[in-house]
Every structure is written in C-alpha cells, then in structure tokens.
Amino acid sequence: MAQLLDGKAVSKILKEEIREEIATWKEKGVQPKLAVILVGDDPASVVYARSKQKVCEGIGMAFELFTMPSSTPEAEILATIEKLNNDQNVHGIMIELPLPKGIRKETVMAAVRPDKDVDGVHPINRGYILSGEEGLFPATPQSCIELLLRSGVEIAGKHVVIVGRGETVGKPLVFLILKHNATVTICHSKTPDLGAFTRQADILIAAVGRAKLIKKEMVKAGAIVVDAGINEIPGGICGDVDFEAVQDVAALISPVPGGVGSLTTALIMRNVLKGIVLQGGVR
C-alpha cells in the first residue's frame, strides 16, 4: 500500500515560510500585494478569487479584487491591467479564467507585466522556462516538483514520465523538472500503447484531464505517482489516476483532492514575493 504525498501538510509548511518572508519584507517597508481581476460571474472563478483573498489575509499579504461585469470591453480590462502594471504597490497580477466570450485571452494575459505575471503564462516567462533563466512560472508544475522534493523524493537521475502536454502543466513541467536532472518522457493523447511508457516511470506524473486514465497495470511496482489532474465526476472530483487501484502498487501517490492542488495557491503567493525581487526589490 502506497504512502500518501500529503499536499495539505506541505502547503502548511509553505504558507508558514511565506508568512515569515512577508514579515521580513514589511520590516523593509514593503507590503507585498496581489491584485486579482475577475471579469464576469463564473461561479468557480468567484470561489477561487475569494479563496486567494482568504489565504492572503492569513499570511499577511495585501489583496485587492477588481470585479467587472461580463459586458466590460476588452479595452477597459487592458486599461486596468496597465494601471496595475504601473502601480509600484502591486507586486503580482492575476486574471481569473475563463474570460467572457469576445475577450481575447491571449491578449489579456500578455498585457500583464512579466515580472508581475504570477500565473507564469506571459510569453516572456514561457521563454525563461526554456532558457533556464529566472522568471515567474506556473503554480501547478511547481506544485508537482515541490510535493516531491518536500516529501524527500530524489528527482535527479530518475526516469520521469509525464502524461499530458498542456500549456499550463505538461509543457512547462518538462523543462522545470529537467532542471532537477531527471530523464523525461512526455506522452499525450496520440501516444500509442500509453502503458508501455508509463510502466517505465520511476516517477509518473499525470496531467491530462481524463478521469482515472492511469490504471494499476500501467504503473511499475514501487513507482512514485503524482496526480495533477482534476475532473468532475458524479459525487465529487477525482484525478487522472485510478487512486484506489494504483495505491496497491505505487510506493508514493498523491490524492485528489489533498495533493498537488493543495499547494497551488501558496505557490502563487510565493510568485508574488519572487516578483518583488524581479521588480528591483532587494532581499
């Protein structure tokens, strides 16, 4: 029976570290601040925005939510972003997705200053992932790595198989985990005989968005399994891994919920603090 990769426990440690770093910035006269833009009234987006506000309040980070009706013209959204870009008291900017129809997501996301882009989706930050330079990177790939490292897993020299090549998790994760000297294989929906690849993994990371895709027979005995998927099913949510079956063969496995997703908000807050340094702040 596998041991759990406990995202909630790791998140608690991370938040405490971030709280201490925020206190240090305050002593230097800097109040770290996150600004969130919410356009429309998508129920999930409202919940996520309020959740971030609660976390900010708990760790001592300033928070401001800008709400706009779904009829807001794109130009007005861009003007708000530009105002926040130029506000020295705002260190991180986040756009809640999805945006209403008629609003160009790529245009809006690219309008955020790269050193305030706590989602890590600006083209410049994507380039920094490839080049190995310092930038702001997406929270979920960072969560996968953080969960492994904080659980005592050695990544260097391991064969990591990533299932999923999405823009927010799979692709950036390839390059972020290469920094830790892993050997990486990436699979996707067009990969024939997926199990032939996943059974080779020392560390298997599922990030494809298909409920319980990874079955017991697709996992090598003693493998470490990280489930970065989240799927709505009748009665709740589940990951991309058939958790109940796979935990019989894995050495370590992350649950959904309670795994990777538990860390993402904390890592967004850590991106805000990293942004302060990138914007010219001195540690």
Q: Which residues are annotated as a binding site?
A: 164-166, 230
- In the annotated binding site for NADP(+), the residues are 164-166, 230
Can you point out the beta strands (E) in the chain? Answer: 3-4, 33-39, 62-68, 92-95, 159-163, 183-187, 203-206, 224-227, 231-233, 236-238, 252-253
Q: Which residue from 262, 268, 230 is spatially nearest to 94, judged by alpha carbons?
A: 268
What pairs with residue 58 in β-bridges?
A: none
> Cβ(49)–Cβ(8) under 8 Å?
no
**In 19-46, which positions are buried (b, 16+ CB within 10 angstroms) versus exposed (e)?**
eebbeebeeeebebbbbbbbbbebeebe
Alpha-carbon gap, residue 141 to 121, rounded angstroms:
12
Query: Which amino acid is it at 58?
Result: G
Alpha-carbon gap, residue 55 to 52, rounded angstroms:
5
192-199: list long-range contacts, CB under 8 Å, 24+ apart.
194/163, 194/218, 197/161, 198/161, 198/163
Phi and psi based region of residue 234 (left: phi greater than 0; alpha: psi -120 to 50; beta: remaining): beta
Alpha-carbon gap, residue 91 to 95, rounded angstroms:
14
Can you point out the beta strands (E) in 24-180? Answer: 33-39, 62-68, 92-95, 159-163
